[in-house]
Amino acid sequence: MFTTGEIILQQLVNGLILGSFYALVALGYSMVYGIIRLLNFAHGDIYMVGAMTCFAVFGLISALISGPIAVILAIFGAMMLCAALGFLVQRVAYKPLFDAPRLSLLITAIGVSLVINNTVMVGTNSQFLFFTSGLDSRAGIAIGQNITLTYIQITMVLITAFLMIGLTYFVGKTMWGKAMRAISLDKDTCRLMGINVNKIIAMTFMIGSALAAVAGGMACVYYGNVHFFMGYIIGMKAFTSAVIGGIGSLPGAMLGGLVLGILEAAGTQILGSEWRDVFAFAILIIMLIFRPNGLLGKTEIERM
């Protein structure tokens, strides 16, 4: 029998794991929106491609390598492929429309999402694919009589924290990061100052896609299955996370993902799992009504 304290702790752990996935995908949303004001709705599908790639790479190398090394190599392979996919999508679908009205970019993003989603659907014949990492999913640290914080869960949270800290340092301290922040303010002036705007935008897409691939790979290992539609719902949840934190703000995306994960876990415990998505999107509606700029977002005045 679970005590109240154990239930709260278990849902907190569940919320942190779920929030880690949301935060990593939301970072890509916020990075792209912060620079070119594009809501890249194909980003959730890149997360799905990352999970599929992790599944495929692990299957290829599992006969030679097993255990944590195989999982690391599979996730690294997913990062490389998704970074390349992000670059390709940016170059082919978005770059020709950078000076077009935003509605054109938005419609294109939806089209790219459908292309990726349906391509994977055909390739997998719409089937669920099941994954066994070979890691001990029960080993961990016992807390009380009924709660075990597994080493897989601890590792996922640490990886997410490391990536978030690394990205914050990259954007805040490096020349490339400073260029990203400058482009978000004024692309034309950056061109006059000698900044290769297209190169920095491509780098932004690649970094965001690689982070989404990490989230997809971790989800593949943690849940043990992948399917072509898995990117849609987490893409919407990541967008919700970005809105909660403040769209365009990287700290906001991190905070929003963790907050949404914890609130969703709490809502699932109180209302039941069938209300999980309803609860999450109800939070989005409330945020848009009462605090549309998000928790860490800033009010911007835009001249038309």
Mean pLDDT value of segment 23-28 = 90
pLDDT for position 300: 58
Highest mean pLDDT among 3-7, 85-89, 253-257, 283-287: 85-89
pLDDT for position 122: 94
Integer angstrom CA distances of residue 96 from 46, 103, 116, 250? 20, 14, 19, 26
Alpha-carbon span 109 to 90, nearest angstrom: 10
Looking at every residue in the chain, the average pLDDT score rounds to 87
Domains, the chain: 13-290 (1.10.3470)
Mean pLDDT value of segment 237-258 = 88
The number of angstroms, rounded, from the C-alpha of 80 to the middle of its chain's C-alpha atoms is 16
Tokens 């075990």 belong to: 148
pLDDT in tens, 44-62: 999 999 999 999 998 888 8
Using the predicted structure, report yes or no on whether residue 6 has a pLDDT greater than 80. no
pLDDT for position 304: 41
Integer angstrom CA distances of residue 151 from 29, 145, 298? 29, 17, 38
Using the predicted structure, report yes or no on whether residue 299 has a pLDDT greater than 70. no
Q: Out of 1-5, 254-258, 285-289, which region has the weakest mean confidence (pLDDT)?
A: 1-5
By percentage, how much of the chain surpasses pLDDT 70?
97
**Shortest CA distance to 47 belongs to which of 288, 278, 216?**
216
Using the predicted structure, report yes or no on whether residue 224 has a pLDDT greater than 60. yes
pLDDT for position 101: 85
Contacts of 212 (CB under 8 A, 6+ apart): 24, 25, 28, 43, 44, 46, 47, 50, 82
Alpha-carbon span 176 to 200, nearest angstrom: 7
Q: Out of 103-112, 190-199, 282-291, which region has the weakest mean confidence (pLDDT)?
A: 282-291
